A and B are shown apart, each in its own frame.
Chain A
Amino acid sequence: MTTTAQCRSAKSTSANKTHLPGHPTSAFVPDLKAAFVDAKVGGIPTYRLTDGHGKLIEGVQEDSLKLGKEEAVRMYRTMLLLPTLDVILYASQRQGRVSFWMTSTGEEASIVGSAAALSDTDEVFAQYREFGVLLWRGYTVDNVMDQVFGTCDDPGRARQMPVHFGSAKHHFHTISSPLATQIPQAAGAAYALKRTPGRENDVVVCYFGEGAASEGDAHAGMNIAATLRCPVLFIVRNNGFAISTPAAEQYMGDGIASRGPGYGMPAIRVDGNDALAVRAAVSEARTRAIKEQRPMLIECMTYRVGHHSTSDDSSAYRSASAVENWKKVDNPLHRMASYLRDRAWWDDAMEEETKKAFRNEVVRAMGVAEKKKRPNLSSLFEDTWTKVPPILQDQRAELARLVDLYGKSEEWAKELPKYEDAGKDLEQWNRKKA
């Protein structure tokens, strides 16, 4: 970016352009010191619409937000559902009822603010901390619990760890653990959208953290999206930490946004705790991505208030008081609530009522999911290949034989009833018995 900017500002005529194919419009310059470029101090500014108390920044026109009461309240309610799920599921993991959980705490505005700017048919590729997009699209608390508890009603057939959501119906591609792999995939999906009749006005949205942005796939995906002009929004949640690694040890440049122009892609840095600013930035980026048929980069500056996951104790690498302080100083939920209260769209009674209703709903859904069976044992072998090949047929028959012989063993007797059909479904594959 700086190279191009400097070259453009330099006085140049066509005669002193390099002509070399790698950058034919670059101007020659004889000054060695001026020829080196470096990142500017201060860097890319951060776009915000409201201050830390949810008040509109001076000069921001209410009308320009194009945000009515109904949508604003729905945004806040979705933001509130996230911490409700987080608190209960986090505690449940500690009690051993749930194997794993990752909270969204502190990033509610980045997630829900961006979701609100999208069409419900935009294709989403997420990292793992963005399932708030699914909630925005109508994914229910029951759907959440089916995935978390791995029930027979999970469309993912209970194969992945909790938080690895996916729903074709909601245009949300199934989350996988390997970081950044979704980034070039999102570029390919966006290229496909361009070529799908009737979907030219949809975009692909690809979320990732600032840590994942260090992966080779981030470079691969952003570069290929730019060169093949793919309408994809890269939304980076820069929450300051990749597990225990602070952002200062993740990169030396001007965050992630500065990389956008390096790939020939417009970029914006946004106050990620300002749901209204995130919504506005993503909305504009979306419009431009469709109109200009190119990728856009949005870096949401936020703070990971929770631990990385239930397997992490973040007090080992940052002070608990810093985190507590953060929740008070710049809390995305408080900012959004204040904005609503200032317009008399929200009050204490609604807050209490909503929180209570959410808590009840989450506890109820957990109770239901906990009682559900897991998908049957035969399903373990399905969907690896589209058809079960002979080698897997043999292995399925082998498990059937073993369950037939040892189903009453200490190892398996208590396990089998947890599954649909309690292992009986395997009998049809048991060659010895059949």
Chain B
Amino acid sequence: MGLEAEYSRERVFNTPLCEQGLVGFGIGMAAMGHTAIAEVQFADYILPAYDQIVNEAAKYNYRSGGQHSAGKLTIRAPCMGVGHGALYHSQSVEQLFMGVPGLKVVIPRSPIQAKGLLLSSIRDPDPVIFLEPKILYRSSVEHCPVDDFTLPLSSAEILTPGKDLTLISYGAPLYTCAQAIEMLRNPSSTISAHISPHLRTASIELIDLRTILPWDRETVVESVRKTGRCVIVHEAPVTAGVGAEISAHVQKEAFLNLEAPVERVGGWDTPFPHVHESFYKPGPTRILDALVRTLTY
């Protein structure tokens, strides 16, 4: 809003409706050393540009021996559920890019995070996919510095330290995780029968992964080695999701410390539905259940 008026139409402009075109265009600009910030209207529509992102942007530097790079490209796209977005206005696509060497994938959880991580992404020397949880566009409000600041990429953040269980998520579900922790502490009368009193004081370490690729393995592994228990939450389907990668690494690096199987809570392995959204997305109850099962294993 207002950027075109401030910086001119030559710098802020419409493109034809064509994702492969606008991403390819951004790669070309970046290859000439210009900073290119491309927007895909919804993450669901990034797939026409998948070839340009995976075969081109991600490999541009490697295949040219560092002679040409698409590193000055940042692709922004709104992602995740919004309550009624159904199949094509709800998807979490991060796992589609997690196995693509050469890319960085970043997801913020709040306005301060969004600004700091986006500025880092734009200045980062590698191509970045910056996915913005659209349900937070208007709901998440906090005092955000007007001045320039950055937050580091490939660095997870421990939001609340704990010693009994590591709960990992990113983007919008972090708020659901916080709700689940609150439900564990103070279960309402309708569910309290399922949560034995000694679990209510469990100390949960909540981690915001922030960067999906290359992800902060050190912070995660260190946390699980300490707590011995790990639950990973994301909106995307479970099979071959981000949780699969994290849990495989955690079981290798923290095998002797694990007290329970690593639990993954995600969307079911179906397309993202319309009217069934509240039973599809991992809500606080499902996360709570995973916490209870992992703590009592």
**A positions within 8 Å CB-CB of B:** 123, 125, 154-157, 159-160, 164, 166-168, 173-174, 176, 178, 181, 183-193, 195-196, 204, 216-217, 219-221, 223-224, 227-228, 382-386, 389-392
Contact = CB atoms under 8 A, between A and B. Distances in A.
Contact of B33 (A192, A217, A384, A390): A192
B56 A195 contact: no
A185 B24 contact: yes
Contacts of A181: 24, 51-52, 55-56
Nearest to B218: A390
8 contacts: A159-B62, A174-B64, A184-B25, A188-B30, A189-B32, A192-B29, A192-B33, A385-B101
Contacts of B16: 220, 223-224, 227
B18 A386 contact: no
Interface stretch (B65-73, B81-89, B166-174, B186-194): B65-73
Interface of B: 10, 13, 15-16, 18, 20-34, 36, 48, 51-52, 55-56, 59-69, 71, 101-102, 104, 125-126, 154, 214, 217-218
A195 B217 contact: no
A189 B101 CA distance: 24
Given A184-B52, A220-B24, A224-B25, 9 more contacts: A154-B65, A166-B68, A178-B51, A181-B55, A186-B28, A189-B31, A224-B18, A228-B25, A384-B61
A169 to B, nearest CB: 8
A183 B24 contact: yes
A174 B63 contact: yes
A221 B24 contact: yes
Contacts of B13: 228
B221 to A, nearest CB: 11
B71, B104, B154 interface centre (most CB from chain A within 10 Å): B154
Contact of B67 (A155, A389, A390, A391): A155
A167 B102 CA distance: 21
Contacts of A390: 214, 217-218
B31 A223 contact: no
Contacts of B23: 184
A189 B126 contact: no
Contacts of A166: 63-65, 67-68
| Those 9 A-B pairs whose CB atoms lie nearest each other, nearest first | A188-B28, A184-B24, A220-B21, A192-B32, A157-B65, A185-B28, A188-B25, A174-B64, A189-B28
A232 to B, nearest CB: 9
Contacts of B218: 390
Contact of A191 (B29, B48, B217): B29
B21 A217 contact: yes
